[in-house]
Amino acid sequence: MCTSIIEIARAEGMAKRGDDWFPLTQSVVAYDHARHAPLGDVITLDFLNTSLDPGARAGVELTLESAKELRAALDRAISAAEYEEAEIRGKGAVRLVKAA
């Protein structure tokens, strides 16, 4: 059964395929049947450039638990980076620390 759960966001960065890097334009987060991982339904992360060939894609399939752990790690890293950026620029941000 397809879930039709798809979220699309603009992406600015780079991704690697083989030995080559390509610029990103879009990221897609979906919840659906695994296509490659020997799992049931998974969170799929796709990073792509819509103006390049279909191979300009970096994809990942994660279990829900792994996706939650990744989200928590991203939240911690983003919080620390925002604090660092504020300190460097003299904005005096207050660092928020969440329990893992």
Domain hosting 70: range is: 64-100
Report the predicted TM-score, pTM, of the whole model to 2 decimal places: 0.76
Q: What pLDDT sits at residue 85? A: 85
DSSP 24-89: --EEEEEEEE-SSSSSSEEEEEEEE-TTS-TT-EEEEEE-HHHHHHHHHHHHHHHHHHHHHHHHHT
Q: What is the pLDDT of residues 3-38, one digit of tens each?
A: 789 999 999 999 998 899 999 999 999 998 888 888
The mean pLDDT value for 35-58 works out to 90
Domains in the chain: how many in total? 2
Same domain for 53 and 70: no
Q: What is the pLDDT of residues 76-94, one digit of tens each?
A: 999 999 988 887 776 655 6
Same domain for 70 and 58: no
Same domain for 70 and 39: no
Q: What pLDDT sits at residue 91? A: 62
Q: What pLDDT sits at residue 13? A: 96
Q: What pLDDT sits at residue 35? A: 83
